[in-house]
Structure 1
Amino acid sequence: MPNPSLRHWLMLAFLVFSWGSAIILTRVAVNELPPLWVTAGRLCTGAALLFLYRIIFVRRPWSLTRRHAPWILWLALLSSAIPFLLIAWGSQFTSAAIAGILMGTIPLSVLGLAHLLLPDEKLTRNKTVGFLIGFIGVVLIIKPDASALGSFDQTEMIGQVAIFLASFCYALNSVSTRRMPEADNIDKATAVVIVAAILLLLACFVAEPFPGFDSAPLSSWLILIYLGFIPTAVATLILFVMLSQTKAGFVAMSNYLIPVVTALGGITFLGERLEPTVWVGFIIILIGLAISERKNKPQPTISETLG
């Protein structure tokens, strides 16, 4: 694939700020609404906007066929339904800043998954070392040790693990999208979000049919509209375009900056504080990612070594 252009870098910046703001605002929304309905509301809004855009502005036949159906279902679960729900649920028990930092581990997961599933993105020595170093940083952030004996600490750790699993879903989605049969990016984005919205609505009516919307403030509704429009509808469309035109590793670079955006946002707007070990873990993750991006130096042959 060709090197990313300026347009791709601008789209990457948009994803960083839209997804970073989504983590912060989701943390606010789950204080008033159940996580399941926050996720469903976000997806339904995004699905409606994408569908309207598709039928009003894109005047051409659908490019999706029956062979795309299993891929649409798979990507709906990986890119929207499961990670959105995990983030909303986990945000109840941990800060937006830590949530954003854990989302920054997506490139680590992409390294291993791309090696297994994409023939043009195999692991190198530097990528392997970077992956192992980054994993140490994740452990420092989550801290699954004997000090987490209190019920609050255990609940917080479970919330952090949920968000880490969401990051793994995004990584698997990044790799899986590249293996999906060719189709129009708008069609793929629209179908994926619509299917994800239907799945979450079904889950809502089964698990939590009476969410108490009447007591939710107007701010919560405005947050849901924003979450559905920018980080879901627009960002999903841009994501599919980027994944079809660039490498999975380039798209994963957005997660280098998302932790910074969410950490600063959480500290500034939500009054959150981070322990020193979290910052150390974040720095270690960045070091691991930096090492993984370095090019391996070619090794000299035996004849070159002997002169």
Structure 2
Amino acid sequence: MTRNWIYLVLLSVIWGASFMGVSLALDGFGPLGVAAIRITMGAVLLTGLAFAMGIGLPGLAQSRLWLHVAGMGLFSNAIPFFLLSWGQQHVTSGFAGITMAVVPLLVLPLAHVFVPGETLTPRKTIGFAIGFIGVGVLIGPGALARSGAALEFWAQLACIAAAGCYAIGSIFTRLAPKSDQIAFSAAGLLVATVAVLPVALSLKGLPEMPGATAFWAMVYLGVFPTALATILLVKVVQSAGPSFMSIVNYLVPVWSVLFGTILLSEALPSSFLGALALILVGLAVSRARPHRRRP
């Protein structure tokens, strides 16, 4: 259990910096290009690692496993990466952050229906709701502020759809037949690459050489929030379940604010400590084991 918490915190740090990475990468690549390049880069890295370790990819005869591989690749990578990259051009960063905090609330009913042992209890619901309120306090009133962009409404729907995709992807990952986690992760990114890369090339063609900042932002996105994060995501979901994994969406905004304060010299919100306290209380309530009286 301790290992899962370490992975979860590490994921929150990696993904907390990814919003800044996407914003920087968009200066040199379009939203479809950002999604396609980071997924392709992650697929190449993980596939190379799988074969270098002598693991390879799942066999083609494992049709049930590949169904879950496709579900993870499409709903945890291809579709939400594009939706968020496009949506972040037209909505405030606060709105994008608050929609990611909705993921745990979407996972709860899905896991209750589809995942054995993931019962929707009042304690878990209350804990997740407190965590969501904490994220809302952290982001502040600007979370629902309008950006004034012409496509803002559709971009908001895109962000909400991305949150739904992440919830569905975690269910596919949890219900997958047992397999090597690196092979499963590599195969998922390969499926996502096949889905996104041809579309990006046909619509946008090969991208021009970007500036150094956009280039290195893209390298970061491909190596850490895509390749490494996919392995960690699969490990945590298959070990601790989608509800536990969804907690990361409450921690990501915390790191996002801290990175903005440390790296971009942004002012630390006055509500930060109060919001952090709410998030931690929510996590404690949602993960607390029910007290059982002795007979």
One-letter amino acid matched to 1:41: I
Displacement, 1:17?
1.2
- Higher mean alpha-carbon deviation, 237-246 vs 284-293, is at 284-293
Deviation at 1:15, TM superposition (A): 0.8
Deviates more, 1:224-233 or 1:64-73: 64-73
> Where does 1:1-307 land on structure 2 (aligned, <5 Å)?
4-5=1-2, 7-59=3-55, 62=58, 65-96=62-93, 98-129=95-126, 143=144, 148=146, 151-152=148-149, 155-156=151-152, 158-209=154-205, 211=207, 213-214=208-209, 216-270=210-264, 292-293=286-287
5+ residue gaps, structure 2, are none
User: What CA distance in whole angstroms lies between the structure 1 residues aligned with 2:141 and 2:168?
Assistant: 23
Q: 1:72, 1:188 within 8 Å by CA — same for their partners in 2? A: yes
The question of whether the paired residues in 2 share the 8 Å contact of 1:95 and 1:266 is answered with no
Distance 2:195 2:21 in 1: 22
| Aligned partners of 2:39 and 2:226 also within 8 Å | yes
The Cα of 1:95 is off from its aligned counterpart by 4.7
* Aligned AA (1:260): V
Deviation at 1:261, TM superposition (A): 0.9
Provide the aligned length of Structure 1 versus Structure 2.
290
**Cα distance per residue 1:52-82 (max 9 Å; x no partner):** 1111123567456223232222221111001
Given that 1:102 and 1:259 are in contact with CA atoms closer than 8 Å, whether structure 2 keeps it comes out as no
More displaced, 98-107 or 268-277? 268-277
Identity value in percent: 33
Give 1:41 shift. 0.7
Report the Cα distance in structure 2 between the residues aligned to 1:195 and 1:169, rounded to whole angstroms: 15
Tell me the C-alpha RMSD between the 2 structures: 3.5
Give the direction of change, closer, same or farther, for the CA distance of 1:179–1:66 in structure 2 (3 Å limit).
same
2:104–2:246 contact (8 Å) kept in structure 1 = yes
Whether the 8 Å CA contact 1:142–1:161 is kept in 2: the answer is no
TM-score normalized with structure 1 length: 0.79
Tell me: CA distance 1:103–1:240, structure 2 relative to 1, closer, same or farther (3 Å).
same
Q: Report Cα offsets for 1:137-175 as digits up to 9, x if no partner.
A: 7797653xxx85x843x6445434433322221122112
Q: What one-letter code is carried by the residue in structure 2 that aligns with 1:199?
A: A
Q: Deviations over 1:166-188 (max 9, x none)?
A: 22211221122111122211111
Any idea what SS the aligned residue of 2:120 has? coil
Say which SS state the counterpart of residue 119 (structure 2) adopts. Answer: coil
Q: Is the 8 A contact 1:141 1:282 kept in 2?
A: no
Change (3 A) 1:34 1:105: same
Structure 2 CA distance, aligned partners of 1:261 and 1:234? 18
> Taking structure 1 as reference, are residues 31 and 270 closer, same or farther at Cα in structure 2, changes over 3 Å only?
farther
Quick check: 99-108 or 59-68, which moved more?
59-68
For residues 61 and 117 of structure 1, what CA distance do their matches in structure 2 show?
26
Look at both structures and tell me which one has the larger radius of gyration over its CA atoms: 1
Q: Structure 1 residues 238, 169: closer, same or farther in 2, change over 3 A?
A: same
Unaligned runs of 5+ in 1: none
